[in-house]
Chain A
């Protein structure tokens, strides 16, 4: 079946611009995760949804970062007033349950100029 998809794959933003990154999880997966991967580093946890409920947002680096999953399927990660330090690959993952293996999308590579 179809895997996790993310769009756009690449995004160039000017500093101060707002961006929205989309994630389509595997159909039927109740758990959805966002990670941030800086250049040369492993992914770092940002936030976790179970269905439409955001159960953990402890990894969001600032109040400029906001994530939602209003219908328990597609999720959007929004970054307001982007800064250069926001440049990274943003990975979305989904899982059939909170403790199971997570399946990752291809990521969105964000470059803030």
Chain B
């Protein structure tokens, strides 16, 4: 069985400041990892994904994440946030099958 823990349910950050959203996973096998963003009353939009290869993954909107196998982490980072980044962010894992297991989400609030 696999699981995802997003350590922070809410993260407030000032505009133009850096941000890190934490994600840890547990799985008995190799995994694929994903970050999705959900704006109010909208579906999930894929930010980035790790399937294999380089552990540093770059996504849309200036976000990046680093896969750390030894720490079973896949933290999401952005060097300078904008007001438009205010949303809920979900980390998800797949054991190379098809079923995504999601964390409970982190609400990012960007303060002007």
Contact = CB atoms under 8 A, between A and B. Distances in A.
Contacts of A91: 43-44
Given A91-B43, A101-B46, A103-B46, A42 B96 contact: no
A41 interface: yes
A102 interface: yes
Interface string A1-35: 00010100000000000000000000000010101
Chain B interface size, under 10 / 10 to 19 / 20 to 34 / 35 or more: 20 to 34
Nearest to A89: B43
B106 to A, nearest CB: 10
A58 to B, nearest CB: 9
- Chain B contact surface mostly: strand
A99 B34 contact: no
Interface residues of A, number: 27
A41 B44 CA distance: 13
B49 to A, nearest CB: 5
Interface in B21-37: 32, 34, 36
Interface string A98-111: 11011111110100
Interface of A: 4, 6, 31, 33, 35, 40-45, 48, 56, 59, 91, 93, 95, 98-99, 101-107, 109
14 contacts: A31-B98, A42-B105, A43-B44, A44-B102, A48-B98, A56-B99, A91-B44, A98-B98, A99-B96, A99-B98, A101-B46, A105-B43, A106-B42, A107-B42
Give the 3 A-B residue pairs with the shortest CB-CB distance, closest first: A42-B102, A104-B43, A104-B44
